Amino acid sequence: MPPRHADTAAATWRIERGRLVGAAARLLRDLDEAEDCAQDALLAALDTWPRDGQPANPAAWLMTATRHKALDRLRRRTMQEREHAQLAVDDEALGTQVVPDFADQLDAVRDQAEIGDEQLRLIFIACHPVLPRESQVALTLRLLGGLETAEIARAFLLPEATVAQRIVRAKKALKGQPYELPDAGERAQRLGAVLAVVYLIFNEGHSAGGGASLLRPALCDEALRMVRQLQHLLPQEADVHGLAALLEIQASRLPARLDAQGRPVLLPDQDRRRWDRLLIQRGLGALATAQALDPDGPYTLQAAIAACHARAARAEDTDWRAIVAGYDRLLACHPSPVVALNRAVALSFADGPAAALPLLDALAADAQLQRYPYLAGARADVLERLGRVSEARDAYRRAAELTDNEVQRALLTERMNRLAH
């Protein structure tokens, strides 16, 4: 296959994967089979496009191929069920020898798809109440975010085997469930897990847990797309607007997060002229809506903290005391060790590194953070600012050992080596 065709097929498939799986799942009610159909569609593209030429709309081609693969499986399943049942009736009289017109069924599915987004439907299905919350999030990250099990494990700070078991069990539990967008009441019940999924997808795109790239912009774009659709679907939900505000503001900084050589640029050193002002305005507007509905939602509080950075024209203009107060409020309403870590970092800028070090040392005893590279990196930065060079070097080394991201590891190693001189 010409490289251009292969690259286009693979890139389109990665972008459309969630929609392809969602479309097949609606027909088959089996997530493993749905994933197989999406994979088969990609293989068909790799086989067909070199011979027939690349289609004008690769995404539509893959969607049609996926649905045909699903319908083929559905036809075989129907025929097998008839054979196994061994019906003692006159097949010709009942018309069971007449194979259903699957072209008509395909048109009906396509018409339904125009009403609701396949990917949005799939995320609510994967967050079915029969699943525990951690399984809902892991499964949806796998299906919609296209994340590998190892990447999901890093997002959860859990062993890879644990996450793999959750995904397998979740698929089994959902087998046979109706693959439709739930009604308004049931959507509200599943919303917390849905938002957690979108949040983690964005985070993986914003700071990739592993690999050779710090950023995965396609994941950020996908999370933004989903949260914007949720805003339209659930306009009275404060948490939806709060998450939208947080992601819009965080995404505004993406153009400034890497320098010309592809190295990370820390927040205080970023060229704020490169921040996307349109995304900031969208984020601040969503924040105002969220605060009017419920000012204490977890995402709304985080968005308010992010807004403190967005409103500062220069790094030295940042209101660090307001940020510490924001984390105090977030800890009171939604405590977690990661929030406590972020508060300690903010305090190091508001009151100086000496005020933050005891807090960071105390967090090092938390089992959930012991292999968290950002804790070791925060300690290293604070120790460096305190002039405790040897300890800072050890902390940078520890942080570099813990991270699976090559770009982050290079930055931490560079800072460690700089202290040697």
Residue-wise pLDDT for 220-244, tens only, equals 888 898 899 899 888 999 999 999 9
Identify the pLDDT of residue 88. 43
What whole-number distance in Å separates Cα of residue 326 and Cα of residue 340?
A: 11
Identify the pLDDT of residue 308. 97
**Domain assignment present for 355:** yes
Amino acid at 62: L
Identify the pLDDT of residue 107. 43
Residue-wise pLDDT for 1-50, tens only, equals 455 777 888 888 877 888 888 888 888 888 888 888 998 999 999 988 88
Helix axes 389-402, 406-419, angle to 10 degrees: 160
State the average pLDDT for the chain.
Answer: 85
Token couple for 55 = 């289609």
**Domain assignment present for 181:** no
Which CATH number belongs to the domain containing residue 8 in this structure?
1.10.1740
Task: For residues 135-150, give the mean pLDDT.
Answer: 82
**Domain assignment present for 155:** no
Instruction: Output the DSSP codes for 62-102.
Output: HHHHHHHHHHHHHHHHHHHHHHHHT--S-HHHHTTTS---H
**Domain assignment present for 207:** no
pTM listed for this prediction? 0.74
235 burial type by CB count under 10 A (0-12 exposed, 13-18 middle, 19+ buried): exposed
- Collect contacts of 342-346 with beta carbons under 8 A, ≥24 apart: 344/378, 345/378, 346/320
**Domain assignment present for 321:** no
Task: For residues 260-281, give the mean pLDDT.
Answer: 92
- Pairing label, strands 404-405, 210-211: parallel
Amino acid at 113: A
Indicate whether 115 pLDDT > 60: no
**Domain assignment present for 60:** yes
Residue 237 parent element (H or E) = none
Indicate whether 114 pLDDT > 50: no
**Domain assignment present for 314:** no
Query: CA 336, 285, 121: angle at the middle one, nearest 5?
Result: 70
Chain-centroid distance of CA 55 in Å reads 29
- The answer to whether 219 touches 202, Cβ cutoff 8 Å, is yes
Indicate whether 204 pLDDT > 90: no
Indicate whether 131 pLDDT > 50: yes
Which CATH number belongs to the domain containing residue 416 in this structure?
1.25.40.10
Question: Which of 112, 135, 169 is a domain's end point?
Answer: 112
Q: How many domains are there within the chain?
A: 2
Residue-wise pLDDT for 338-372, tens only, equals 999 999 999 999 999 999 999 999 999 888 898 89
Residue-wise pLDDT for 38-87, tens only, equals 989 999 999 888 888 889 899 899 999 999 999 988 888 777 666 555 54
Residues of the domain holding 343: 330-421
